[in-house]
Amino acid sequence: MKTLTYKVKKICCIGAGYVGGPTMAVIAEECPALEVNVVDINDKRISAWNSNNFSDLPVYEPGLDLIIKKCRGRNLFFSTEVEMNISKADMIFISVNTPTKTHGIGAGQASDLKWVESCARQVATFATGHTIVVEKSTLPVRTAKVIKTILESSQSSQLNCKQPSSFDVLSNPEFLAEGSAIQDLKNPDRVLIGGENQKAINALHEIYSCWVAEERILHTNIWSSELAKLTANAFLAQRISSINAIGALCEETGADVREVARAIGSDSRIGSKFLDCGPGFGGSCFKKDILNLVYLSNYFGLKDVANFWKSVVDLNNWHQNRVSKLIVKKLFGTLSGKRIAILGFAFKANTNDTRESAAIHICKNLLEEGAILLIHDPKVEQSQMEFDLGSSPSPEEIDIKNFPNPLLSKRWMKVKDIKDSFINADAVLILTEWKEYSDINWGDAAKLMRKPSWVFDSRSIVNNKEVINAGLNFWRVGDGYNIT
C-alpha cells in the first residue's frame, strides 16, 4: 500500500510519442531504481517500441536504440495497459498530443485538449493513494487548473472511501528538439518545474537531480512554467522567420544571409544559434504553439500582441511559397512534365518526423504546377510520404526512367538511391540537411540530369563551387552574390 511520502518509485507516462518515448527512456537509464511504464492507446506504436528489431522503433533519434536496448525489460516498459499502470504509479506524466483544433471555437488556433482531458479523467478514475500529475505536453497557460478541477471532482465523489485518492499537479514542459533529443535530455540547458506544493516539486526535482546539475533545475509558479514553454517556441520560431525574411532581402540586394547571420550572431546579445536560413520552419510544435499564443492573446483582449505573433507564422507560410514560386520562375515559368529530385522530406535532419515539414507544402505546390517528383529521404517511410502527399505507385508499377506511367495519375515516387532521383531531372531541390546530401558528387549527378539543369539548395549544405563547376545552375537560399 502506498504511503503519502513523495519519494517516487513508480512512474507512468501517458503517451509513447516523440516526447514520451525518449524522455522516459532517459529517465529510466539515469534512475535505475525507478520503474518507468510508458503507456499508449495506439497498440501499433507500443508493439513498435517493444520490437526486437531496434530499427523498427517508432521514433528515430540518434542514440535512442542503445538506451532502449539497455533499459527495456529492466526498469522501462511499454504497454497498452493504461488503467493498470495509472493505478500503481506515484507520478504520472501526461505526454499526449495537443494539436491545433480543426473545428469548433478556436479552430485553426487553439490547442485541442481532448486527449489531455481524457487522460485527466482516466487518472481521476484509476489513480490510487497520492499521485503527482505532471504536465509534460505543451499546454495553454492555465490548463493545470482544468486538470486540477477534473482530479478534484473525483476526490469529492470519493468522500466516503477509506483511502480516497489525492493529487498534486506540476508543469514540467519539455524543451528537447527532435534529432538531438537524447543529447538535449541528457544535458538540458534547464529543466523547468512549475507548481504550488513544494513537496511535489521536490519529488520531481529529485528525479532530475540524478543527472542534471542543481542550478539547471528551475522552479517557477505553475502558470509561468506553462507560458514559458509557449514563449520559448515562439522566440525560437521568430528568429527563423526573421532570418528567412532577411534572406529574401539578401537575394534582392547582393548580400549573403550567412555573412549577415555571422555578423549579427557575433553580438553576444543576439547569439549565433538559430540563424540558419532554410525552407521555412516545420515540426509539430512551432506553428501550433505560436497559434495557441495568438489565440490566448486574442482571448485576453490583446489583439496587437496576437497580431505580432501571428506574423511569425504568416512569414513562414509566405517564405515556403516563395521557394516554390522561384523554382517555377527559374524553370521558365512552367513545371509541367518536368522531373524534380527532392532531397529530404523530414522537417529537419536526424528524425523520421514529417509533421508540418516544409517539404510537404513545397512538394504539394510543385505537384500542383505539374512537376514529377522523385523524393529521397533516408528515414521517412513511403507510407508516411503517402499520408502527406497522397498515393504513389507501388514498386512493380515503377520504371524510374519512364516514370510516371502515363496511364496512372500518380506523379511522385520515393527513390531509395539518391542517384536515381537525378535521372533526367531538370532540377534538384534540397529540403532537409541530411549529411549525405553535402557529400554528393555533382559532376556525376550532372551527367544524369537533363540540361539546362538546376540545383536549389534551401539548406546551404552543398559546395556552391562544385555545383557550378559541374555546369549546373545554382540557387542557394539567402544568397545574393550573383546579383550585379
Q: Are 373 and 404 in contact (CB under 8 A)?
A: no
Cell of 390: 497522397
170 to 229, contacts with ligand UGA by CB under 6 A? 174-178
Q: Are 368 and 321 in contact (CB under 8 A)?
A: no
Residue 482's nearest CA partner among 458, 463, 464 is 464
Q: Residue 275 interacts with ligand UGA (CB under 6 A)?
A: yes
User: How many residues at the interface with ligand UGA, by CB under 6 A?
Assistant: 20
How big is the CA angle at 311 (ends 322 and 300), to the nearest 5 degrees? 155
Q: Are 68 and 25 in contact (CB under 8 A)?
A: yes
The position carrying cell 524522455 is 23
The answer, yes or no, to whether the previous bond of 404 is cis (omega within 30 of 0) is yes
Q: Residue 15 interacts with ligand NAD (CB under 6 A)?
A: yes
114 to 143, contacts with ligand NAD by CB under 6 A? 115, 118-119, 137-138
Q: Which does 15 bind (CB under 5 to 8 A by kind): ligand NAD, ligand UGA, none?
A: ligand NAD
Query: For ligand UGA, which residue of 281, 309, 454, 474 counts as binding (CB under 6 A)?
Result: 281
In the complex, minimum distance from the CB of residue 381 to ligand NAD, in angstroms, rounded to a whole number: 15
Cell of 420: 536515381
Q: How far apart are CA 36 and CA 127, in angstroms?
A: 16
Q: Residue 377 interacts with ligand NAD (CB under 6 A)?
A: no
In the complex, minimum distance from the CB of residue 255 to ligand UGA, in angstroms, rounded to a whole number: 18
The position carrying cell 488556433 is 109
Q: Residue 285 interacts with ligand UGA (CB under 6 A)?
A: yes
Residue 169's nearest CA partner among 218, 100, 225, 111 is 225
Q: How far apart are CA 88 and CA 35, in angstroms?
A: 10
Indicate which residues carry an active-site annotation: 285
Q: Are strands 454-457 and 427-430 parallel, antiparallel or unpaired?
A: parallel
Q: Residue 48 interacts with ligand NAD (CB under 6 A)?
A: no
Q: Residue 448 interacts with ligand NAD (CB under 6 A)?
A: no
Q: Which does 308 bind (CB under 5 to 8 A by kind): ligand NAD, ligand UGA, none?
A: none
Residue 357's nearest CA partner among 323, 330, 328, 331 is 323
Q: Residue 20 interacts with ligand NAD (CB under 6 A)?
A: yes
Q: Which does 282 bind (CB under 5 to 8 A by kind): ligand NAD, ligand UGA, none?
A: ligand UGA
Q: Does residue 254 sit in helix, strand or coil?
A: coil
For the chain, the maximum distance between any two Cα atoms, rounded to a whole number of angstroms, is: 83
Q: Which does 475 bind (CB under 5 to 8 A by kind): ligand UGA, ligand NAD, none?
A: none
Cell of 118: 481524457
Residue count of the chain, please give it: 484
Q: Which does 274 bind (CB under 5 to 8 A by kind): ligand NAD, ligand UGA, none?
A: ligand UGA
Closest to ligand UGA by CB, 176 vs 415, is 176
Q: Residue 135 interacts with ligand UGA (CB under 6 A)?
A: no
Query: For ligand NAD, which residue of 16, 257, 429, 449 counts as binding (CB under 6 A)?
Result: 16
Q: Which does 236 bind (CB under 5 to 8 A by kind): ligand UGA, ligand NAD, none?
A: ligand UGA
Q: Residue 283 interacts with ligand UGA (CB under 6 A)?
A: yes
Q: How far apart are CA 359 and CA 440, in angstroms?
A: 20
List the 412-414 sheet strands across, edge first: 412-414, 372-376, 339-343, 427-430, 454-457, 473-476
How crowded is residue 214: how many other Cβ atoms within 10 Å of its Cβ?
Answer: 8
Residue type (1 letter), 399 = D
Residue 6's nearest CA partner among 207, 221, 154, 212 is 207
Q: Residue 57 interacts with ligand NAD (CB under 6 A)?
A: no
Residue 410's nearest CA partner among 430, 429, 385, 431 is 385
Closest to ligand NAD by CB, 96 vs 413, is 96
Closest to ligand UGA by CB, 223 vs 274, is 274
DSSP annotation of 103: S
Q: Residue 233 interacts with ligand UGA (CB under 6 A)?
A: yes
Closest to ligand NAD by CB, 171 vs 365, is 171
Query: For ligand NAD, which residue of 12, 13, 19, 113 counts as binding (CB under 6 A)?
Result: 19
Residues 67-106, mask of contacts with ligand NAD (x by CB under 6 A): ---------------x------------xxxx--------
Residue type (1 letter), 371 = A
Q: Which residue is nearest to ligand NAD (CB)?
A: 17
Q: Residue 22 interacts with ligand NAD (CB under 6 A)?
A: no
CA distances from 234 to 162, 239, 285, 287, 296 (A): 47, 9, 10, 9, 13
164 to 203, contacts with ligand NAD by CB under 6 A? 174, 176, 178
Q: Which does 348 bind (CB under 5 to 8 A by kind): ligand UGA, ligand NAD, none?
A: ligand UGA
Closest to ligand UGA by CB, 195 vs 283, is 283
In the complex, minimum distance from the CB of residue 59 to ligand NAD, in angstroms, rounded to a whole number: 7
Q: Does residue 95 sit in helix, strand or coil?
A: coil
Closest to ligand UGA by CB, 360 vs 413, is 360
Contact positions toward ligand UGA, by CB under 6 A?
138, 174-178, 233, 236, 240, 274-276, 278, 281-283, 285-286, 347-348
Contact positions toward ligand NAD, by CB under 6 A?
14-20, 39-42, 45, 82, 95-98, 115, 118-119, 137-138, 174, 176, 178, 284-285
